Amino acid sequence: MNLKELITFQTIVREGTFAKAADKLHYAQSTVTSQIQRLEKETGIKLFDRNWEAELTDAGRMFAEEVERLIAHWQYVVEQAKQLQQEEIGRIRIGGLETIFASVFPNAMRRLRAVKPGVVCDFISGNTDFLAQSVLQRELDFAVCGEPSDPGAFHFEPLYAERIAFIADRAHPLAGRSAIPLEELPDYPIAAGGPSCLYHLRLEKQWLRVAAPPRISHISPISAIPGFVAGTTLVGAVLESTPIPAALVKLDVDWGEADRTLPVGIVRLRTAEYPSANIRLMIEWIREETAIGSRPG
């Protein structure tokens, strides 16, 4: 049993078929089949029920969980060895809500560059649903966003709370009023983020309590909403940290007992037990940046 065989097995499990795993690894399909046959012979375990979708046996599922941990541990050990040799290179892929890009990410990046100039970072912006899926597909090492709607596969570490806010043009009939009932907002057309945005479910729950559903224009990204609201009767639903131009105002909306806070935190895969030293550094600095007042809002 060698590492190549284990990686081939892991790739089949992730891709779903021997053919897709062969394409992913740039192997001939016969090579993939031979490696799995050797692995089954060496372990004495039948790993797959042979069919097009490469379905795992019960023993294969148990083996897959251990292989995932073993390869993660091996990658961790390699990273530590590189650190000892002062090979300060690598790439970190980080996702975040738009508002994180104003200060938190740039400050954390500057700190990383000061001590590890050879490490490259990729930063991707998106809403919580998009970022969570990117983490799940291992396209991102981690993300800073809301708690995923299906948290089973993720570890979520809260950092701070965002709040929902409503904005309007200064000439809007609601501008300047105090304690506007939340139920009154659907009297006007509303501009909000898409159905998978951080605050969508929270707002949807509130709209269920009003007699007539609001007329909603979905706009993405959220940072574009103020531009659509200016000079119109639209009411924009944004995050409180969203910058707004001087032509707009935040409305004084009375939420009553409804909760308008939304937790934002670090989202990682539960199976990512051995993050690299560079990833651990970036996570720690992002924690510090959100704690010292440079966080959004």
Predicted confidence (pLDDT) at residue 61 exceeds the cutoff of 70:
yes
Backbone phi and psi for residue 22, each to the nearest 5 degrees, phi listed first: -60, -45
230-251 pLDDT, tens digit each = 999 999 999 888 889 999 999 9
Rounded to an integer, the average pLDDT of 144-170 is 91
Nearest Cα neighbor of 220 from 235, 187, 205, 198 is 198
Using a 10 angstrom Cβ sphere, with 0-12 exposed, 13-18 middle and 19 or more buried, the burial of residue 23 is middle
22 near 28, Cβ under 8 Å?
yes
Q: Name the segment(s) of the chain with CATH classification 3.40.190.10.
A: 90-159+263-291, 161-261
Rounded to an integer, the average pLDDT of 221-235 is 93
Percent of the chain with pLDDT over 90: 35
Question: Beta partners for 190?
Answer: 216, 235
Please state, rounded to an integer, the average pLDDT across all residues of the chain: 86
How does strand 90-96 pair with strand 142-146? parallel
Nearest Cα neighbor of 276 from 82, 74, 76 is 76
What does the buried/exposed string (b/e) look like for 230-251 if buried means 16 or more CB atoms within 10 Å of the residue's CB?
A: beeebbbbbbbbbebeeebbeb
Question: Beta partners for 263?
Answer: 161
Percent of the chain with pLDDT over 70: 91
Distance, in Å, from the CA atom of 96 to the CA atom of 80, rounded to the nearest integer, reads: 27
Q: How many helices (H) and strands (E) does the chain have?
A: 9, 13
Predicted confidence (pLDDT) at residue 294 exceeds the cutoff of 50:
no
Residue predicted with more confidence, 151 or 161: 161
Distance, in Å, from the CA atom of 256 to the CA atom of 214, rounded to the nearest integer, reads: 19
Distance, in Å, from the CA atom of 190 to the CA atom of 213, rounded to the nearest integer, reads: 11
Predicted confidence (pLDDT) at residue 129 exceeds the cutoff of 80:
yes
Q: What is the pLDDT of residue 297?
A: 47
Q: At what angle do helices 104-115 and 277-291 cross, to 10 degrees?
A: 140
Distance, in Å, from the CA atom of 150 to the CA atom of 147, rounded to the nearest integer, reads: 8
How many CB atoms lie under 10 A from the CB of residue 208?
8
7-45 pLDDT, tens digit each = 898 898 888 888 898 998 999 988 988 998 898 888 888
Q: What is the pLDDT of residue 138?
A: 92
Q: What is the pLDDT of residue 67?
A: 84
Query: If pLDDT is split at 50, 70 and 90, which confidence band does 86 have?
Result: very low
Query: If pLDDT is split at 50, 70 and 90, which confidence band does 221 have?
Result: confident
Q: Which CATH superfamily is domain 161-261 in?
A: Periplasmic binding protein-like II (3.40.190.10)
Q: What is the pLDDT of residue 253?
A: 92
Distance, in Å, from the CA atom of 91 to the CA atom of 85, rounded to the nearest integer, reads: 17
- Architecture of the 3-84 domain: Orthogonal Bundle (1.10)
Q: Which CATH superfamily is domain 90-159+263-291 in?
A: Periplasmic binding protein-like II (3.40.190.10)
Q: At what angle do helices 3-15 and 29-43 cross, to 10 degrees?
A: 110
